[in-house]
Structure 1
Amino acid sequence: MTKEEILQQSVADYLRLQYSKILFCHIANERKTSPARGAKLKRLGVKSGMPDVMVFQPKFIKNGNNIIEGISNIGLAIELKIEPNKPSENQLKVLAHLKSVGWKCAVCYSFDESKTVIDDYFN
Structure 2
Amino acid sequence: MIQAQKIVQFSEYKIYKNEYGHTKIRIEPHTRNTDIGADASKYQKSSNVYGVLICYSINGEKKAKLLDMTYKLKNKGYYEYGLSYSSNSKVGSVSVTYFNMVDDPESKWPKKGDCF
**Structure that is richer in strand per residue:** 2
**Structure that is richer in helix per residue:** 1
Q: TM-score, normalised by structure 1?
A: 0.29
- Structure with more contact order per residue of length (Cα contacts < 8 Å, sep ≥ 6): 2
Q: TM-score, normalised by structure 2?
A: 0.29
